[in-house]
Chain A
Amino acid sequence: MLDEAQTETLLEVSNIEVIYNHVILVLKGVSLKVPKGGITALLGGNGAGKTTTLKAISNLLHSERGAVTKGSIIYRGERVQELSPEALVRRGVIQVMEGRHCFEHLTIEENLMTGAYTRSAGKAAVAADLEMVYTYFPRLRERRKSQAGYTSGGEQQMCAIGRALMSKPETILLDEPSMGLAPQLVEEIFGIVKDLNEREGVSFLLAEQNTNVALRFAHHGYILESGRVVMEGPAAELRENPDVKEFYLGVSDAGRKSFRDVRSYRRRKRWLA
């Protein structure tokens, strides 16, 4: 278990507001911290703002006509909001986008090599990292000559994570790795994420709908609801929290509840927000 008091904070997001197209307010003041060497989970349902938070950090919002209008994003003491995604990758922050986004017509190996685009290290170092990616994802080695568009969803997810690894990142923003994958594959991928975290020292900020899996592998968690952080805490505590249990894990002490109780939960939540 990560000792939270002692570790240094890599990424600090304070009270950011994100507006799309000048009118659609999506994030209404989200704050979170990603400690060095930790796996931080960002949880919540559809449209809660998980992806937007990640894209705000990696600066991919611009191409979707979104903008951070308030608050600050600090990485290693530096304000990074005005940087290009490229500059951010060079500083060690890379995003693995939701839905994989592999380069379909490139082979798996070419996909991985594009991840090393920003690196100025020699060929030998890049080749060593390619080897490292192949040891974590042996399946990619088997498929390395096939076009990424023709590989399975799991292989594409591995390819996307491997591609990010090729940039020698310090922090990976991992968006919904479990999407559309069989439970067994989800376990496999989360296992590898945990390995990468422990052995390679990569920090993760993980956006996930699958609360159950995410809280088992993460150290710390934030729960987002309609653009606000409504709850946060160490993953183990969140797992035991009765509200999380009931609304995100689908287990409850008192069996099924009526809709009236759901409303009372919403009232209670307002205090937290």
Chain B
Amino acid sequence: MSADFLYMIEVVINGLMAGVLYALVALGFVLIYKASGIFNYAQGVMALFGALTLVGIMEGQVPFAHIINATFGTDLHQFGWTVPALLAILLTVGVMILLAWMVHTFVFRHLVGQEPIILFMATIGLAYFLEGIGDLMWGSDIKTLDVGIPQGGSLWVENLSSGLGGEDFYGFFIDKLDITASVVAILLVAGLIAFAQYTKQGRAMRAVADDHQAALSVGISLNFIWVLVWSLAGMVALVAGIMWGAKSGVQFSLSLIALKALPVLMLGGFTSIPGAIVGGLIIGVGEKLFEYTIGPMIGGATENWFAYVLALLFLVFRPQGLFGERIIERV
């Protein structure tokens, strides 16, 4: 096989891996949007908050240390212990569930039945609030997150694929972190789909997504289901935050990954879990391939805008996305 073609394949594989992460973030949006009609602008900040909390717990940081020290004149910063990664992740999941409960109880429970735009505005407020709380709790410096995911190129993939090309082809270079991220994301998505499809709560979740009033009438507690979907979205955000944070450090820019999820949603449809996955993969592969093939002709840096242009095209020609639920209308 020619070197060009092999390089192209590597680009596609890397695109797929990036796409999986986009899909993961998009999935968080879809979960909440389907069940409650809320477009959660704070999804990206939730990823940031989850990653910050995880780092804080792992390193034994004292939350709100700055305020405590300023008020009581103490000099607290660390508890002096470190928490193993797995336990810390479990604790952070607990925090995300608590966060979901608080968001629902203090904000959205009081906004039931309001216009979508009002719910959307509330999530913008929530985003800024969470960002501030994250800073207050854990400080605003850039942190490194190491939960023990292996990093660097995978020798195994390199050795395995090196036979494909000629003398000067050394095999595909694929980051182990990306491989892990993809596997975790695939497992998470499979788990979520199985949950929605085959469990009682999952069925109730889909029922609420279809018809709030009817769900109420058969005795499904909307409050419970809404806390459930916010918790699930929080966990998805946490996983995305871990993967992204491990790659490029835990810092404010982490919350901007949510913006990358928007084109994914427009492509896949706001209401479809498979749509979020396929949309993520298309955008991931699309932007890498575009950069590789057409990028050099127009001066590069196409990755910044390619996804949005694609989304724009979809908005014009297929506004419900690839997999958006068609509204069933009987005549």
Residues of A within 8 A of B (CB): 58, 60, 63, 65, 84-86, 88-90, 94-97, 101-106, 110-111, 113-115, 117-118, 147, 149-150, 153, 163-164, 167
Contact A117 B218 (CB under 8 A): yes
Residues of A within 8 A of B220 (CB): 86, 114, 117
> Given contacts A85-B216, A88-B219, could you give 5 more A-B pairs where the C-beta distance is less than 8 Å?
A86-B220, A95-B217, A105-B210, A114-B215, A117-B204
B1 within 8 A of A: no
**Max chain A Cβ within 10 angstroms of own Cβ: one of B112, B200, B213, B221:** B213
Contact A89 B219 (CB under 8 A): yes
Given A86-B220, A97-B214, are A104 and B203 neighbors across the interface (CB < 8 Å)?
Answer: no
Contact A103 B211 (CB under 8 A): yes
The 8 Å CB contact of B219, one of A63, A117, A150, is A117
Contact B218 A63 (CB under 8 A): no
**Max chain A Cβ within 10 angstroms of own Cβ: one of B210, B212, B217:** B217
The 8 Å CB contact of A106, one of B210, B213, B221, B330, is B210
Question: What's the interface size class on B, roughly?
Answer: 20 to 34
Proximity string of chain B (35-71) to chain A, C-beta cutoff 8 Å, 1 when within and 0 when not = 0000000000000000000000000000000000000
Residues of A within 8 A of B221 (CB): 84, 86
A88 to B216, alpha carbons, bound, how many Å? 11
B73 within 8 A of A: no
**Max chain A Cβ within 10 angstroms of own Cβ: one of B203, B215, B219, B221:** B219
Contact A60 B328 (CB under 8 A): no
Residues of A within 8 A of B203 (CB): 106, 110, 113-114
The 8 Å CB contact of B112, one of A63, A96, A102, is A63
Of chain B, the residue at the smallest CB distance from A110 is B203
Shortest beta-carbon distance from A115 to chain B in Å: 5
Contact A101 B213 (CB under 8 A): yes
The 8 Å CB contact of A89, one of B113, B211, B218, is B218
Of chain A, the residue at the smallest CB distance from B200 is A117
Contact B218 A150 (CB under 8 A): no
Contact B206 A97 (CB under 8 A): no
Contact A164 B218 (CB under 8 A): yes
